[in-house]
């Protein structure tokens, strides 16, 4: 666990692809408990440490995760994330940028994708649906190509809505599944069991100070990620 930013009200960490944000049926220690332990030890806090989960990343996804250290920050951040997931038309007070390594390359180097998605709880998977389908939700994202290799392409993805497996499902629908994402059509798994989807950056208005905050998560320590990162820097 790498701490990317912290103050009295919030803390952001760089999640690895095998960590879970909150506890689940696996019984594995969640990231939230690791952060609590870190705060307790660093600040020598007695008793239970308060930590609020404001959003989640899929287990196989890496990148920045933001937690609230106070109830005031948690309430405001929850409102900000709720606005993002339900209203794609208004000016968002929080912006999440992802990097994705996909198989092949999209037909258009950059585009805006709009799809209606349905979620199958049993399969833990989302599917493209026709407009008007019962319980389908509108999913919108934009992407642009950052770098291209022989077999893979690095995309920057910005979400206008927050739907279940949105990036994974929408990119797969245009024939560009994320590397390692067997659930959505990747040819093979990654050695670490993760997928090449990384929550690269989060920008938001601080819930208490009202200052503009931008937090960037370094890419995973993997040869392909590092290669693409160098290409973007060049």
pLDDT for the residue 68: 97
Mean local confidence (pLDDT), 184-207: 96
Catalytic residues: 58
Distance of CA 104 to the CA centre of its chain: 22
SS3 146: strand
- Decide: 155 and 83 in contact? Cβ < 8 Å: no
DSSP calls for 49-76:
PP-EE-----TT-EEEEEEESSHHHHHH
pLDDT for the residue 85: 56
- Decide: 196 and 228 in contact? Cβ < 8 Å: no
pLDDT for the residue 28: 87
CA distance 78 to 119: 22
pLDDT for the residue 153: 98
Q: How many CB atoms lie within 10 A of CB 107?
A: 9
pLDDT for the residue 24: 77
Considering the segment(s) 2-233 as one domain, its CATH architecture is 2-Layer Sandwich (3.30)
Partners of residue 137 on adjacent β-strands: 117
CA distance 115 to 117: 6
Mean local confidence (pLDDT), 70-74: 96
- Decide: 61 and 70 in contact? Cβ < 8 Å: no
- Alpha carbons within 13 A on the beta-carbon side of 178: 26
CA distance 1 to 171: 28
Q: What is the pTM of this model?
A: 0.93
Indicate the pLDDT class of residue 82, thresholds 50, 70 and 90.
confident
Tens of pLDDT, residues 87-138: 544 456 789 999 999 999 999 999 999 999 999 999 999 999 999 999 999 9
- Decide: 203 and 212 in contact? Cβ < 8 Å: yes
Tens of pLDDT, residues 155-188: 999 999 989 999 999 999 999 999 999 999 999 9
pLDDT, the chain, mean: 93
Residue boundaries of the structural domains of the chain: 2-233
pLDDT for the residue 22: 85
- Decide: 189 and 17 in contact? Cβ < 8 Å: no
């Amino acid at each position: 666990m790498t701490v990317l930013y912290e103050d009295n009200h919030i803390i952001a960490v760089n999640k690895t692809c095998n960590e879970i944000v909150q506890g689940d049926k696996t019984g594995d220690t969640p990231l939230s408990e690791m952060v609590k332990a870190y705060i307790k030890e660093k600040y020598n806090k007695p008793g239970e440490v308060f930590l609020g989960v404001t959003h989640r990343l899929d287990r196989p996804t890496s990148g920045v995760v933001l937690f609230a250290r106070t109830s005031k920050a948690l309430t405001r951040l929850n409102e900000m994330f709720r606005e993002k997931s339900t209203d794609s038309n208004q000016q968002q007070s929080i912006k999440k940028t992802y990097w994705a390594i996909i198989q092949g390359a999209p037909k258009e180097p950059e585009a805006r994708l709009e799809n209606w998605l349905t979620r199958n709880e049993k399969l833990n998977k989302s599917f493209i649906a026709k407009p008007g389908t019962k319980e389908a939700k509108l999913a919108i994202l934009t992407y642009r190509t950052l770098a291209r290799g022989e077999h893979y392409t690095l995309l920057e993805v910005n979400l206008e809505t927050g739907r279940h497996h949105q990036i994974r499902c929408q990119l797969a629908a245009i024939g560009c599944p994320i590397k390692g994402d067997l659930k959505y059509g990747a040819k093979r798994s990654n050695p670490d069991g993760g997928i090449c989807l990384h929550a690269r950056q989060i920008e938001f208005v601080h819930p208490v100070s009202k200052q503009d905050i931008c937090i960037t998560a370094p890419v995973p320590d993997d040869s392909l990620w590092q290669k693409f990162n160098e290409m973007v820097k060049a």
